[in-house]
Amino acid sequence: MNADIYEVVHRRRDVRAEFTGAPIPEDVLRRILTAAHAAPSVGLSQPWDFVLVADPAVRRAFYEHVQHERATFAATLTGADAERFARIKIDGVLESSLSIVVTYDPERGSPAVLGRHAIADAGLYSVCLAIQNLWLAATAEELGVGWVSFYREPYARRLLGIPDGIRPVAWLCVGPVTHLETTPDLERHGWRARRPLDAAIHHDRW
C-alpha cells in the first residue's frame, strides 16, 4: 500500500467502469470509515452518518432511478455534447461491492453549533470534508470510489428510510478495482479539460 498523501491525492480518481465486484475486507472498511469520521466539523458537530448499502435489491432500485435521471439530463443536451455524453458511464452502482451513502443532520449539536450562526451551510461543508477523507483513505487501500450525483435527494431518502430533516449528501460506490485511470473520465472522453492551477490563484484581492 502506497499511502503517501501526495501520491494518493494525485492518484485518486472518480471511478465508474473499473470495479471488480470483489468484497471489501472488514478491517479495510473500518479504516476508511474511521478516517472519514476523523474529519474536522463545525463546532465539533460531526453531522455525518454512513449508510452502508450492500443489499442488491436496494442498489438495483437506485440504479434504475439513476438511469432515469441520466435520461433527464441527456434530454437537455444537443449536438456534440449529446454525442459525448452518450459515451460516458455515470455510475458503478451495480458493479461495485458496496454503496456508502453519507448524510447530513443539521440538528446534530443544535441549537448552539459553534461557528454556524453566520454560515448556515457550514455543517454541510463538514460532511464533504469527511467524504474526501474517506475517498483518499480508500484510494490508499487500492479501492476505487465513484460519487454518483444523478439522483434526487427525496428518492434516496425514501429508498433508505432516512428520517425527515436528514439530507443525503453523497452516494458513493466503493470497492476493489482493476486499476485507476491516470486521466479523469470526463477529460478522456473530451467532455471538459482541467483548468490550470494559476488561473485559480488570486493575490490579496480577487
Query: Is 136 a binder of its own copies (CB under 8 A)?
Result: yes
Query: Is 133 a binder of its own copies (CB under 8 A)?
Result: yes
17 or 58: whose CB is closer to its own copies?
Answer: 58
Stretch that binds its own copies, among 20-28, 113-121, 173-181 (CB under 8 A): 113-121
How far is C-alpha 8 from the chain's CA centre?
Answer: 16
Query: Is 124 a binder of its own copies (CB under 8 A)?
Result: yes
Q: Please, is 135 exposed, middle or buried when counting C-beta atoms within 10 Å of its C-beta (0-12, 13-18, 19+)?
A: buried
Stretch that binds its own copies, among 16-24, 108-116, 174-182 (CB under 8 A): 108-116
Q: Site mask, its own copies, residues 159-188, x = CB under 8 A?
A: -xxxx--x--xx-------------x-xx-
Residue choice 3, 22, 71, 86 for contact with its own copies (CB under 8 A): 3
CA proximity to 129, closest of 170, 93, 186 = 170
Instruction: Identify whether the C-beta of residue 144 lies closer than 8 Å to the C-beta of residue 13.
Output: yes
Query: Is 76 a binder of its own copies (CB under 8 A)?
Result: yes
Smallest gap from residue 176 Cβ to its own copies (A)? 18
Query: Is 96 a binder of its own copies (CB under 8 A)?
Result: no
Name residue, grid cell 473520465.
185
End-to-end CA distance of the chain: give it in Å, rounded. Answer: 41
178 or 194: whose CB is closer to its own copies?
Answer: 194
Residue choice 18, 19, 28, 53 for contact with its own copies (CB under 8 A): 53
Supply angle C-alpha 190, 191, 192, rounded to 5. 95
Stretch that binds its own copies, among 17-25, 27-35, 173-181 (CB under 8 A): 27-35
Say how many CA atoms lie within 13 Å of 164 toward its Cβ.
0
Instruction: Identify whether the C-beta of residue 98 lies closer than 8 Å to the C-beta of residue 156.
Output: no
In this structure, are strands 167-176 and 143-148 parallel, antiparallel, or unpaired? antiparallel
